[in-house]
A and B are shown apart, each in its own frame.
Chain A
Amino acid sequence: TQLLEQSPQFLSIQEGENLTVYCNSSSVFSSLQWYRQEPGEGPVLLVTVVTGGEVKKLKRLTFQFGDARKDSSLHITAAQPGDTGLYLCAGAGFKTIFGAGTRLFVKA
């Protein structure tokens, strides 16, 4: 069974701080996606990483796929209250598997 573990489960920080959240698995995925979900809404795709070692940037967000395609990280620089939400990673293999998410709260 493929499992994705996300850490930390919960993170509360001040506006302007940097943070990194992690997504780890013992399984290899053909690609990995990061989503953000706000209360009462469905997840919204942020990025898809496909190649081992790949780094993608989306404004203040930096996503990295591990060399072995088993893990990924999301780094946010100078977090803002608008970054508050649930960050989910999802690995694509035979089917898409979601992690439990990291709930981020950025205080103004």
Chain B
Amino acid sequence: EAGVVQSPRYKIIEKKQPVAFWCNPISGHNTLYWYRQNLGQGPELLIRYENEEAVDDSQLPKDRFSAERLKGVDSTLKIQPAELGDSAVYLCASSPGTSGATDTQYFGPGTRLTVL
């Protein structure tokens, strides 16, 4: 079974430029998460989708970040414009969405963003 796929794996951009990340979750997983992981820290949730609905986006900086999950499958996360402080690894995860708080999240390898 294929795992969570993310692209690109690495991205280097100059500040004020836009950037987009793509995630393909495990087939059949209803719940999709985007996390940001700063160097030396644990992942921090940005947004959680159940099917195509964003059920928790309280930590998403909405002035520059946006996300969508079309048809409840793939998802994209966009930053426009990027700032130096956005340099981090952006992780996507998916879960079956059937066990609530104990649901197992399966993570992709992440996209490492460097903003110069």
Q: Do A and B come from one complex?
A: yes
State the total of A-B contacts with C-beta under 8 angstroms: 47
How many Å lie between the Cα of A32 and that of B93 in the bound state?
A: 17
In whole angstroms, how far apart are the Cα atoms of A40 and B104 in the complex?
20
Enumerate chain A residues within 8 angstroms of B107, measured Cβ to Cβ.
41-44
Taking a contact as CB atoms under 8 Å apart, the answer to whether B42 and A90 are in contact is: yes
Instruction: Name A's interface SS.
Output: loop
A96 to B42, CA, bound (A): 11
**Interface size bucket, A side?**
20 to 34
Q: In B69-116, which residues have CB < 8 Å from any A CB?
A: 91, 93, 101-102, 104-110
Is A42 touching B91 in the complex (CB atoms < 8 A)? yes
Given A41-B109, A42-B110: A96 and B4 interface contact (C-beta under 8 Å):
no
Do A43 and B48 form a contact, CB below 8 Å, given A48-B104, A93-B101, A95-B56? no
List 8 A-B pairs, minimum CB-CB distance, nearest first: A42-B107, A98-B42, A92-B101, A30-B101, A31-B102, A98-B43, A100-B41, A88-B42
Q: Which residues of B contact A (CB under 8 A)?
A: 4, 40-45, 48, 56, 91, 93, 101-102, 104-110
